[in-house]
Chain A
Amino acid sequence: MPVGELHARPMRINFGPSHPATHGTVRIVLDLDGEKILNADVQVGYLHRGFEKECESGHYYQNIPYTDRLNYSSAMLNNVGYCLAVEKLFGIKTPPRCEFIRVIAGEIARITDHMLCVGAMGLELAAMTPFLYLLEGRELALDLLDALCGARITTNYIRVGGVWADLPEGFAPFCRERLDRIAGLVDDAHRMLTDNPIFRQRLEGTGYLPAEELIAYGVTGPLLRAGGVALDLRRVQPYLVYGELDFDVPVGEHSDNYDRYLVRLEEIRQSRRMVLQCLERIPDGPVNADDPRIRWPRKGKVFNRMEELIDQFKLVTEGDLAPAGEVYAAVEGANGEVGFYIVSDGSGRPYKCRCRAPSFSNMQPLARMITGRMLADIVPTFDLINMIGGECDR
């Protein structure tokens, strides 16, 4: 153990697992020399619930609610990622209206996630007012998700081959009105935080790690883009209708906490742009793929007709039989690449369902970012990584 400048014995302290200045259950064992961090051991796993084991005993459609509980501050994006992977396995093409609805839902979820991340970081740096502004905006966005699916957080809205239901009546004007108010609140928070000298001193230059090292650690998402690498799957490997939308990919240049904050704030604005474009362009048509392997018959027909009854019975007891094989599909989640690797043995349940969680890979370089720095730098660095326990520990 290196000896510090004060020639005192290093002190070992626990940061977490339940610490008032972090949102996320993680334990960091620190060796401190005064306030300087000599050594850090990041320990995750306090929220491990066995997501993958649980998925192996559920039918494909039964696992969608479990994905809500991965990144629970943007559950829609996990729903989308999982359903895209299952659809890739089945070889299903979803109708265009469904793809637009998925983009709308996913981008609203991204707005809520970024607002919570920035707001909670402000709170933990003792900036109470922007937290209240951003949480108010988050509530407005959650109302939109509520209108879509009846749930605010654990949405369970996206289905294999489609979505649970079409957009509700009058959703477009409601959504525009809410997005305008959200944009105003984001601008207010921006005016309070971005040029605030105390805030900048806490963020500028802290948590620095060069982009090459971030890539070597497998970091993706806003964290990597703040280092100047424009890796955004919505742009470089477009899925759904992202290829047709007009949006910018914000990148930073200093790879420090301040740039990470700016990138997240700008992504909220870009997500709003995307939702507005989708509301303009969304076509009419069905929202569910008409594929006999996954299509659920209508209830009235199940009660009155034999074929639909058999169909329903088979889907409930055997599940939707997938072709044997393996696929990996990834989407751009709020914190980076959310990927699902599904191995199928030809039955109605996944033989293996692996979630590649961005929080897990993004947490790994945390020890590198804080070692040699001050104790107080942990809070903004950890908060802007935005580790979500449910996703990191699965």
Chain B
Amino acid sequence: MHDDENQATPGEPSPLLRKVLARLGQQVLEHRAWRGDDRIHVDRRQIVEVCLALRDDPELCFDLLVDVTAVDYMGQPDGFRRPVEIWDRNRAMVRRGPLSRHQVAMPERGPLPRFAVVYHLLSTRFFHRLRLKCRVPEDDPTLPTVTTVWPGANWLERETYDLYGIRFQGHPDLRRIYLDESFVGHPLRKDYGKRDEQPVQPLHGPAANEPRRPH
């Protein structure tokens, strides 16, 4: 199996990645083009200036924020590069990681932070796409908000906060969006069991007619 993303030869950056690299320079920590998708990694402290540059550059013009989400790489300190086994708390599933063919020499680097926040961008002028990733550590799951760049990031970041517990600093209204405020934990984290149950919260009484928090 030679077409794994981590093992395929990086090759020449795509024309779009070349433009992005020329614009952002040292701010891009890593870049890769695989299966026609272009992806760059940036430092989470620089996310706002990177997004502003990507949005306002006349040759890039990423004016539409398609999606914000996160990935939980729990127990995968160096990506998917060695066999791993994860059991969830209820033994509901066994996840077998890549087999020994993945044990190839990779450039050594320290353990990666647990979370990655992923932004998908689209340009409505040139119709090209870019995926932006920021690693976020488990002990400090915070990141500056990009609602100042795209107001549409508001709900998407609320969803990421709700399901992954990543806090977006400077967000105007960071409350849960799907789950109730009384919900404990963040269900899309890998250590939240699929069959974990929580007590149903009553929605009666005078509080039911009020927003969950003053807006």
Contact = CB atoms under 8 A, between A and B. Distances in A.
Given A339-B67, A361-B156, 16 more contacts: A12-B209, A29-B211, A43-B211, A50-B187, A53-B187, A57-B194, A88-B36, A217-B152, A324-B102, A327-B35, A328-B120, A341-B118, A347-B98, A360-B159, A364-B152, A364-B155
Most buried by A among B76, B93, B120: B120
Interface in A226-268: 229, 231, 236-237
Given A52-B188, A345-B97, A346-B4, A41 B67 contact: no
A215 B124 contact: yes
B209 A14 contact: yes
Contact of A44 (B4, B64, B65, B178): B178
B152 A57 contact: no
A215 B150 CA distance: 9
A231 B124 CA distance: 7
Contact of B120 (A52, A53, A341, A352): A341
A350 to B, nearest CB: 10
A29 B209 CA distance: 8
Interface in A191-228: 213, 215-220
Secondary structure dominating the interface of A: mixed
B179 interface: yes
Given A91-B35, A354-B69, A360 B95 contact: no
A217 B187 contact: no
B37 interface: yes
15 contacts: A50-B187, A57-B194, A215-B124, A218-B64, A324-B4, A325-B5, A326-B39, A328-B120, A328-B131, A345-B84, A345-B98, A352-B71, A352-B72, A361-B155, A364-B155
Interface in A30-87: 39, 41, 43-45, 48, 50, 52-54, 56-57
A155 B209 CA distance: 38
A349 interface: yes
A89 interface: yes
B11 interface: no
Nearest to B189: A53
A88 B188 CA distance: 24
Nearest to B120: A328
Given A54-B194, A324-B4, A346 B97 contact: yes
A326 B5 contact: yes
A356 B35 contact: no
A-B pairs, top 4 by smallest CB distance, nearest first, are A325-B5, A218-B152, A346-B98, A45-B178
Interface string B109-146: 00000000010101010010101000000000000000
B188 A347 contact: no
Interface of A: 12, 14, 29, 39, 41, 43-45, 48, 50, 52-54, 56-57, 88-89, 91, 213, 215-220, 229, 231, 236-237, 318, 323-328, 330, 337, 339, 341, 343-347, 349, 351-352, 354, 356, 360-361, 363-365, 393
A325 B4 contact: yes
B207 interface: no
Which one of A52, A88, A343, A345 has the highest number of Cβ atoms from chain B below 10 Å of its Cβ? Answer: A345
A292 to B, nearest CB: 12
Contacts of A347: 95-98
A50 B69 CA distance: 14
B42 interface: no
B71 to A, nearest CB: 5
A345 B37 contact: no
A53 B150 contact: no
B90 to A, nearest CB: 11
Nearest to A213: B151
Contact of A361 (B35, B63, B152): B152
A44 B67 CA distance: 17
A297 B27 CA distance: 49
A236 B64 CA distance: 15
Interface in B75-90: 76, 80, 84
B195 to A, nearest CB: 10
Nearest to A91: B3
Nearest to A40: B215
A393 B163 CA distance: 12
B177 interface: yes
A279 B67 CA distance: 35
Nearest to B128: A237
